Amino acid sequence: MARECFICEKRKATGNNVSHSKRHTRRTFGANLHKMELEQNGTVRREYVCTRCQRTQKTMQA
């Protein structure tokens, strides 16, 4: 399974590298994910969470 944010489901995105001569080649943009301990229904789980969700305090660290 690909890594994605447990809360907002953000994952790898695709786009183009554009050189000075405007030549386009495909590339990927990885989401900024970190493993965190999340408490859910009294149990602690280690899940990937993006830094945007961490900053907006959608998570509560265990």
Q: Tell me the per-residue pLDDT of 14-60, one tens digit each, with 9 for 90 and over.
A: 999 999 999 999 999 999 999 999 888 889 999 999 999 988 876 65
Nearest by Cα to 15 from 4, 2, 28, 34: 28
Q: Which two tokens stand for residue 37?
A: 């301990």
Task: Kindly calculate the radius of gyration of the chain based on its CA atoms and give it in whole angstroms.
Answer: 16
Instruction: Judge contact between 48 and 4, C-beta under 8 A.
Output: yes
Give the per-residue pLDDT at 59.
Answer: 61
Q: Is the pLDDT of residue 62 over 50?
A: no
Give the per-residue pLDDT at 26.
Answer: 98
Q: Which two tokens stand for residue 30?
A: 């990885």
